Structure 1
Amino acid sequence: MPNLIPPKIPDGEKVDFDDIHRKRMEKDLMELQTLIEVHFESRKKEEDELINLTERIEKRRSERAEQHRIRSEREKERQKRLEDERTRKEEEEAKKRADDDAKKKKTLTSLHFGGYMQKLTEKRSGKRQTEREKKKKILSDRRKSLDIEHSSQEKLKEKAKELWDWMYKLEAEKFELQYQFSRQKYEVQEDQERAKEIDTDVPAASNHTVVPPVSLIPHL
């Protein structure tokens, strides 16, 4: 163990141990206060970081909850739209089936009633159809049902073209019939003029043949 040499005290000076002790205590106190301040600053910084972390976690949790709520609402709206669309289609199909059934019943009733009335009329009259009835029947057979209630745009275009072609054909037939009617009328007038000339040339002929009237209306 080395020998300890006490500090040399200058001659003629008085050493104040109390002052040395006081200064030492003040220095230690300042160091302690500095350590305490550093500790509290570090603690406050850690607490602030913890608070920020907690706030970020809560914010993220709130955002996720909001996103989940929005997705749930959108899913509910989508399901509701699908349900409404399915209900609408079912109602339309039910209405269409009801309309089709009503049309079928009406058609069957009309056919049954029409056949019954036709048989009853034939039984009562016992005569053949007149020319007017024949024309009505021909026109009724030619008259086509449109049936365009549930048709698409392409079907409507095709139907319009079909009707146009049909009308064009009817106009052509009408023109042909009018031409035949005019020609027959002209020929009949020529025959009548010739008959008048013959009657004028042979007034005494008593047994001349009477030409029956010719129907000028062509049969449809």
Structure 2
Amino acid sequence: VTNSGRIILHTLNDNVQCEQTAGFKLSPFIMPNLIPPKIPDGEKVDFDDIHRKRMEKDLMELQTLIEVHFESRKKEEHDIVHLKDRIDKRRAERAEQQRIRSERDKERQKRLEDERTRKEDEEAKRRADEDAKKKKTLTSLHFGGYMQKLTEKRSGKRQTEREKKKKILSDRRKSLDIENLSLDQLKEKAKELWEWMQQLEAEKFDLQYQITGQKYEINVLRNRVSDHQKTSKRTKRGLRK
């Protein structure tokens, strides 16, 4: 009988004596015979060796898990570095495209400005010549008073809303100015427009991502305000009670 069996037996005997003292009669407890496991003859069980092998197995499994963890972490770090390089490369490409497009816009604006100045000068010269001829003719015919009234009427005329709208649209719309371009210049113009479309798509994606982040921040702030209001109401109710 093991030590635990002796403790159980003593405990049961004490319980039986207590119950008999209280007026109850119980049958005596008989401890069953415990048969230890049979070990083959000539063999000796080394529990220390079994424990050592189990510890070695657990250690190998732990080392395997650690190696797998570090390999996974190393792969994630490599992916992050690769993604960062791609983002930096994309930003550099976009900056270069923006620089080229800005230079081309400046050149195009300069050409348009020069062309507009030339046309305005020609138009002003033509009008000056026409006005001089008209004044000369009207002076000779003594129509000075009539000409003065006509000039005042034209200068006081107001633009209608439709004319204002047309003027605004004409100012905002960019002229392609491709009538006098050669084939190579047309190809360059098409390439420029394509790069401009790519830039607009990239800016659209950035704006959508920014709007999504702002919506998330707004929802978080709303939830915080709602929680704060609920807490304030509960505090006020507690003070009233």
User: Which structure is larger by alpha-carbon Rg, 1 or 2?
Assistant: 1
What is the TM-score of this pair, normalised by structure 1? 0.37
What is the TM-score of this pair, normalised by structure 2? 0.34
